[in-house]
Amino acid sequence: MLTVISSAADINNAQRTLVHQLQTALPQRVACTVGGAGGGFEADVAYDDTLGLWFAGQSQDTKHFNGFGTDAPVAGKKVSLAAEINFPVQGISRAISGVFAQDENGRIAVLHRGKIRGGKAIFFQHYQGECVEADDGGKPDTFALIGWLDDPAFARRMNDFVREILRIKAAAK
């Protein structure tokens, strides 16, 4: 069974790997403003026009922010978030949807708790991807599997997940 990672050092290492994977797969850089519920920030978003996905990451006080969008970014303009997949900087936070989890061989999975606008029940009612169980601080729970950090196709898996979130949000309206 997968085990949710809670140590600050291990979460930070996994976040760095996630950023590296995405920035490698999304080679274009576009300077824009990333908008969000907590306000916006300036960033060079990583983008790939073949996937039609952009990514911006920022470490904040309590979380590693990872924002994604599907519209082509335009330099100097504000980009709209399609999804956020954030991780706590340390410990386990069930209020933050992103989770890094490790299997018995040391591989790191990127998981999602299913908490999106509309609620967790709606998410899992409509989610068509793979679900996995993980030990979440001594409590087993079900998560959506986004992908494995060592997968060469990780960015494509992330793209699929972001588009699945958009599909679920549309279906839940």
* Closest by Cα among 142, 134, 81 to 108: 134
| Whether 67 contacts 110, CB under 8 Å | no
Q: What is the pLDDT of residues 82-115, one digit of tens each?
A: 999 999 999 999 999 999 999 999 999 999 999 9
Residues 151 and 97 in one domain: yes
Residues 99 and 75 in one domain: no
Please list the residues that pair with 106 across neighbouring strands.
none
| Whether 153 contacts 110, CB under 8 Å | no
| Whether 144 contacts 129, CB under 8 Å | yes
Number of folded domains in the chain? 2
Structural domain including 40 reads 11-19+26-84
Q: What is the pLDDT of residues 26-76, one digit of tens each?
A: 999 999 999 866 678 899 999 999 999 999 999 988 999 999 999 999 999
Specify the pTM.
0.95
The span from the CA of 91 to the CA of 44, in Å, is 29
Residues 40 and 99 in one domain: no
Phi and psi for 46 in degrees, rounded to 5? -90, 135
Residues 100 and 146 in one domain: yes
Q: What is the pLDDT of residues 153-171, one digit of tens each?
A: 999 999 999 999 999 999 8
Q: What pLDDT, on a 0 to 100 scale, did the predictor assign at position 35?
A: 82
Please list the residues that pair with 172 across neighbouring strands.
none
Token readout for 72 is: 């082509």
Residues 52 and 106 in one domain: no
How many CA atoms lie within 13 Å of 15's alpha carbon, on the beta-carbon side?
A: 26
